[in-house]
């Protein structure tokens, strides 16, 4: 049986997230059901990242074990034809039996889009958090720096989760503005539940002037979710890359 | 009572089109119901173009008569807050009582997007017709030229409609390629039902080599829908501008 790595792109709008949920269709479910339909094999597809409800992916990674003797380069087209338009298999590769998309990931890269505009936009608003208020990009850049490195990110973890260890390492956290689009590029060895969206929500509070200089360092030290900013909405978040 | 011109942008995915239909929600219905909810007035909103199910608009024009004494520049935000995310009022202007968005339009401009790629894309495919086959842009440009001007477009009219007069004037029909995106920009005094999508479908048949040089001129002369190409899917079509 071959171990196959899949690179997957999806528009997460309307889905309950990557992982099976009782309250809606998940990306994982769509792919597993499609594999069963196309290859007549009931298999578990393990994703690198359990993206949350409404979060998108340019390149999620997953692996699946398959017996079907179909040529590897035919797999994307075979699955894509049967998958919904909102999910695409970008690539399929044969990997060693030991490869595990979830546990072997070295780092993950996410991008969050904020559109700093008063203008409602039916096309752009689908994939971004639109902010009609003035935002200081220099202030956000400055506060972002304090989050880079190895820290206990307990303050940025969803309050309803109970992960034992909340220390993670952020390798990169870049804030850029181009036109009225502000992007937050974050790479870390791993992320806590809602961590990216809580960091973005906090930096937006900095940009609006609600939080003063030095806030992110203080928030980290307090290890209390209530001290950080709001959770940015899912629709602006994209999983960009999983590195191995 | 003021006569108000609205400029409206919408993502037509999932809607039954601009106009009321029995088989689904229409854009017109969403706007009329929102006006009734926000201003407590039951009014007809007349659109310049009856865009079909699934067709999008960057700038549809419409007019509505309103008694509400709300400042004109407050109307977009008031309606936008109550409309779905997929519909935005871009602008509201007071116009003379005689202004009628539908009958006073001098020309309309549409753009159709084709993505010439083998790669399924959950984001781009939502707003374009993806064509995995090689397409000759020079051949499409050449055949497009024969459609410019005043012609009887009966061959490009949906076969299930019975409009008496099918003569229309195309002012502009440009085919451009940038990266793997091919755009068709069409401006005409007015359009028959499905006319843009039938022209695009025919030009794509030209691009694929199914129809030889000289085809569009012949198809026009035959005045027979069956001689033209297929109807391009709605999702690639955008109403760009209505000129008065």
Residue-level pLDDT at B164: 73
A contacts of B9 (beta carbons < 8 Å): 121-123
A90/B122 Cβ within 8 A: no
pLDDT digits (tens, 9 = 90+) for A169-216: 999 999 999 999 999 999 999 999 999 999 999 999 999 999 999 999
Question: Alpha-carbon distance A125 to A81, whole Å?
Answer: 28
Contacts of B90 in chain A (CB under 8 A): 119
The closest alpha carbon to A41, from A79, A88, A76, belongs to A79
Q: Decide: A41 and A66 in contact? Cβ < 8 Å.
A: yes
Q: Could you report the predicted ipTM of this complex, rounded to two decimals?
A: 0.92
Listed residue (B39, B51, B83) closest to A122, CA to CA: B83
Pairing of strands B2-10, B87-95: antiparallel
Cα distance from B125 to chain A (closest Cα, Å)? 7
Q: Which element (helix H / strand E) includes B28?
A: helix B27-39
B52 is catalytic: yes
Could you tell me the pTM of the whole model? 0.93
The C-alpha of B184 sits at a distance from chain A's nearest C-alpha, in angstroms, of: 20
pLDDT in tens, chain B (244 residues): 999 999 999 999 999 999 988 788 999 999 999 999 999 999 999 999 999 999 999 999 999 999 999 999 999 999 999 999 999 999 999 999 999 999 999 999 999 999 999 999 999 999 999 999 999 999 999 999 999 999 999 999 987 766 678 999 999 999 999 999 999 999 999 999 999 999 999 999 999 999 999 999 999 999 999 999 999 999 999 999 999 9
User: DSSP characters for A55-108?
Assistant: -EEEEEEEEEEE-----GGGHHHHHHHHS-TTEEEEEEEEE-TT--TTTS--EE
Helix A137-145 and helix A195-207: axis angle, to 10°?
A: 130
């Amino acid at each position: 049986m071959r171990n196959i790595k899949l690179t997957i792109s999806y528009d997460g709008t309307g889905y309950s997230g990557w992982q099976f949920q009782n309250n809606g269709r998940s990306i994982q479910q769509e792919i597993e059901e499609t594999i069963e339909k196309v290859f007549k094999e009931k298999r578990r597809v393990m994703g690198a990242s359990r993206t949350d409800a409404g979060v998108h992916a340019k390149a999620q990674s997953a692996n699946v074990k398959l017996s079907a003797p179909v040529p590897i380069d035919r797999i994307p087209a075979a699955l894509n034809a049967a998958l919904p338009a909102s999910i695409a298999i970008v690539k399929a590769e044969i990997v060693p039996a030991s490869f595990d998309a979830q546990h072997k990931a070295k780092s993950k890269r996410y991008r969050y889009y904020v559109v700093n505009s008063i203008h409602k936009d039916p096309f752009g608003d689908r994939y971004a958090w639109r902010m009609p208020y003035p935002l200081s990009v220099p202030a956000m850049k400055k506060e972002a720096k304090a989050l880079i490195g190895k820290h206990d990110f307990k303050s940025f973890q969803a309050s309803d989760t109970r992960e034992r260890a909340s220390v993670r390492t952020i390798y990169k956290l870049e804030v850029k503005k181009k036109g009225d689009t502000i992007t937050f590029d974050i790479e870390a060895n791993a992320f806590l539940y809602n961590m990216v969206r809580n960091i973005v929500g906090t930096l937006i509070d900095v940009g609006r002037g609600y939080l003063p200089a030095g806030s992110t360092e203080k928030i980290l030290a307090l290890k209390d979710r209530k001290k950080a900013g709001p959770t940015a909405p899912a629709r602006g978040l994209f999983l960009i890359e999983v590195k191995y």
